[in-house]
Amino acid sequence: MSKLRVQSFGVSIDGYGAGPSQDLQNPLGVRGPELMEWFLETRTWRAMHGEPGGETGTDDGIAAQGMTGFGAWILGRNMFGPIRGPWPDESWKGWWGEEPPYHVPVFVLTHHPRSPVPMKGGTEFRFVTEGIYDALAQAREAAGARDVRLGGGVATIRQYLTAGLIDTLHLAIRPVLLGSGENLLGGLDLTSLGYACARHVFGERAMHVFLEKCG
């Protein structure tokens, strides 16, 4: 069976995986982009956006590994956009323009039905209203032999962690303090949920911690 993996998820020293007050101008919340500064400087990031250059090194190598081997993604609705409640129309198609970086089916968790949204480059957003288990079943069927990547946000990762469904969780811990926002691991007993730290690697701008489900 394919694995459910979280890759390259930025976290502050004080445990926040997103800043407060997400809106159209702040997709990751206020100061949220600081969590991803390690990724934005890499050659992998620049190549994804058709730009030359970028840094090589440990951060870049880990970023590149985190973009391969996936046949589907799962996103929480907040990762898809800032709209809350029923869809006012079908004009919003995500933060990423006409060609998102996924290139595979992306299953978006929501309480409000919506027709699939095909995009350039092979991405298709499919909206799941029946919860995290149904989204994972659909994503695994679409992925086939490849893994499924859980892209976030924080609340979605916490739901899958609490259910013990995540196989590997890669956290890129940044040396910043946010002070507020969405805390990723607060109140969760990961040991009781069956998780352990498999390895950690120091990069140029982040410490990379890999948690794995035991057994």
Retrieve residue 184's tokens.
């990723």
List per-residue pLDDT tens for the chain, 215 residues long. Answer: 799 999 999 999 999 999 998 888 888 899 999 999 999 999 998 988 788 999 999 999 999 998 889 999 999 999 999 888 999 998 999 988 899 989 999 999 999 999 999 999 999 999 999 999 999 999 999 999 999 999 999 999 999 999 999 999 999 999 999 999 999 999 999 999 999 999 999 999 999 999 999 86
> Are 136 and 163 within 8 A, CB to CB?
no
Q: How confident is the model at residue 48, as a pLDDT?
A: 83
> Are 139 and 73 within 8 A, CB to CB?
yes
> Are 29 and 191 within 8 A, CB to CB?
no
For the beta carbon of residue 124, count every other beta carbon within 10 angstroms.
Answer: 17
Instruction: Please give the Cα distance from 61 to 47 (Å, whole number).
Output: 13
Instruction: Please give the Cα distance from 47 to 194 (Å, whole number).
Output: 36
Retrieve residue 81's tokens.
């956009």
Instruction: Please give the Cα distance from 115 to 125 (Å, whole number).
Output: 9
How far the first Cα of the chain sits from its last, in Å, is: 15
> Are 18 and 153 within 8 A, CB to CB?
yes
Indicate the length of the chain as a whole number: 215
For 55, phi then psi, to 5°, come to -80, 145
Retrieve residue 163's tokens.
């259910």
* Per-domain residue ranges of the chain: 4-85+98-213
> Residue 11's closest CA among 133, 186, 159?
186
| CATH class entry, domain 4-85+98-213 | alpha beta
Q: How confident is the model at residue 191, as a pLDDT?
A: 96
